[in-house]
Amino acid sequence: MRNTLYISAIFALLLNMVGCTSNFDSENTDPYGVTEEQAAIDFVNIGGYLTTMQKYIYNVTTGLQTEQNLTGDAFAQYMVPPTPFQSNRNNVTYNFVWYSQQWDITYSNEMSNLSLIVNKYNVDTEYPNFYAWGQVLKIFAMQRVTDNYGPIIYSDYGAESAPYSYDSQKDVYYAFFDELDAAIDTLTTYADAGSTAFEKFDAAYGGDVAEWVKAANSLRLRLAMRLANVDPTKAQEEAEAAISQEYGVMETNDDNFMVDLGSSVHPLWYFSDSWSDCRMCATVESIMGGYSDPRLPMYFETATDGDLADGTYKGIRQGIAIDSKSTYVDFSGISSTITGSTTAQIMTAAEVSFLRAEGSLRGWSMGDLSAEEYYNQGIQQSFEQYGLSSYSTYEDDETSTFADYVDPKNSDNSFSASSDITIKWDASESNERNLERIITQKWIALFPDGQEAWSEFRRTGYPKLLPVVVNYSSGKISTDEFVRRTPYPDAEYTSDAEGVAGGVTLLGGVDTGGTRVWWDTGTGTNF
């Protein structure tokens, strides 16, 4: 499988591990250099690859723009560009022009890195703790790929030559669960023993293996919930296994999976501050503005447009006609709280609490709290993540709803509030209505990870987003049903035509953004 995809990344990493030299082979034989045997003493020969894997789950480079910011972030209606890329015919208006980066970057930095250290160092048998850790990291990343595309190359990865067979999304998810089960067992053994082997390479938890067990269990819970509508028995089984495991799931913000960026700048700084290509979506203004949500200033800056009053938060509706970048560029950019962060968010305790709230609502064994209590706990944890303490007033608000939106530049883009859902839990209402509360608050708490928020919107239909005004998909994507997936990269059709044809067959529809993935049932109800 395409070894050339990762040669450059691996080569750069090897240089860092063995010293600054342009000749890796001579360095390995240099008596004054670091030999393989010496590197193995402190796991340097394998650990660096896992550091890289952490940093490409949520791509910490500017490649994130086409990998996620102009796909998942836009489709979740978190952030949209004021820039009319490609004469305004781009992903945001349903004319896909960026759809390969999630595939290419993740395979070349996740699947290939783990495969390399298995093949070169027998890490699966010689270093079972590192292999288990690598499996968890791989699944965190590949979950995003299959959720984007549907069927993917997974069990056949590493085959010598094409065709590379695709697995159905169901088979991929079931493989995830099996691999997590084994990895969690292995990591638990090392956590019980107080292992510190990961310490030099861990950009999230400083080598605390117990925290990695919690992260793996939390991931298992996330994956389980994704199956709630399409495979409910399996979903409940895996969710309850995650909760009941010895180390449990993320419980506090100290457990959050946040990757240290080191000396790097958060990629969203480039898109928003440096390039001015990313602004708040109008849907955020409607939802968080309508709720007078104290997290809004944590996420976005006030607008600087001269037509707006001072202190105004103003977003751009997704999928509109934009003639010039100057029209909307002075609407709200991303807050320095986000762009100046030294960490990249992968998963948080707040998300886990909302997952447990939904599980409890479905009658699953999620712990000692009720659905309402987990829901309120999720709000509290999200507030506390940003140093806010006013969550009790917020969660008791039973009157605030989404707000109407007015586009001061073009009234054709204005809209009425898409939902009247309130914040305060209401036990007298239906499960469907309270699920809308859970997912709406989860959508707020997941920011800035639009990839996960978009997946949850596709699964549940919440929060109630706004259809695009301009749809350039030529009928491939329904305006009313929204974009459902990302098409396969063009390179797959030239390098693995037989394999991708099998993937499309497994998808069960045409390879467009309008075809639903396996867990996206499209039934319109969640109970």
Q: Which fold has domain 42-268+336-507?
A: 1.25.40
20 pLDDT more than 50: no
- Give the DSSP per-residue string, 71-107: THHHHTTSEE-SS-GGGG-SGGGT-----SHHHHHHI
**Interval 73-110: pLDDT, tens:** 999 999 999 999 999 999 999 999 999 999 999 999 99
**Interval 273-290: pLDDT, tens:** 999 999 999 999 999 999
**pLDDT class of 490 with cuts at 50, 70, 90:** very high
Mean pLDDT within 140-165:
96
Q: Are 162 and 493 in contact (CB under 8 A)?
A: no
Mean pLDDT within 367-378:
98
The residue assigned the tokens 């990865």 is 157
Kindly report the backbone phi and psi dihedral angles of residue 303, in degrees, each rounded to the nearest multiple of 5, phi listed first.
-70, 155
The residue assigned the tokens 């791989």 is 138
Q: Are 272 and 333 in contact (CB under 8 A)?
A: yes
Q: What is the pTM of this model?
A: 0.93
SS3 assignment, position 152: strand
| pLDDT value at residue 44 | 87
Mean pLDDT within 453-480:
98
State how far the alpha carbon of 59 is from the alpha carbons of 258, 344, 488, in Å: 13, 9, 19
Q: Which has the closest alpha carbon to 113: 137, 87, 79?
A: 137
Mean pLDDT within 41-66:
93
- Of residues 435 and 32, the one with the higher pLDDT is 435
Residues 6+ apart with CB under 8 A from 207: 196, 197, 198, 199, 200, 201
| pLDDT value at residue 23 | 33
| pLDDT value at residue 263 | 83
| pLDDT value at residue 39 | 54
**pLDDT class of 24 with cuts at 50, 70, 90:** very low
| pLDDT value at residue 3 | 39
The 10 Å Cβ neighbour count of residue 274 is 11
What DSSP state is assigned to residue 175? H
Q: Which has the closest alpha carbon to 173: 150, 205, 202, 207?
A: 150
297/270 Cα distance (integer angstroms): 19
The residue assigned the tokens 């991303």 is 334
Q: Which pair of tokens denotes residue 87?
A: 């004469």
CA angle 471, 473, 478 (to 5 degrees): 70
Beta strands at 279-280 and 257-260: parallel, antiparallel or unpaired:
unpaired
Which amino acid type is present at position 357? A
Query: Sign of dihedral through CA atoms 129, 347, 455, 439?
Result: positive
316/332 Cα distance (integer angstroms): 9
Share of the chain above pLDDT 90, in %: 90
Mean pLDDT within 403-425:
98
The residue assigned the tokens 């956590």 is 191
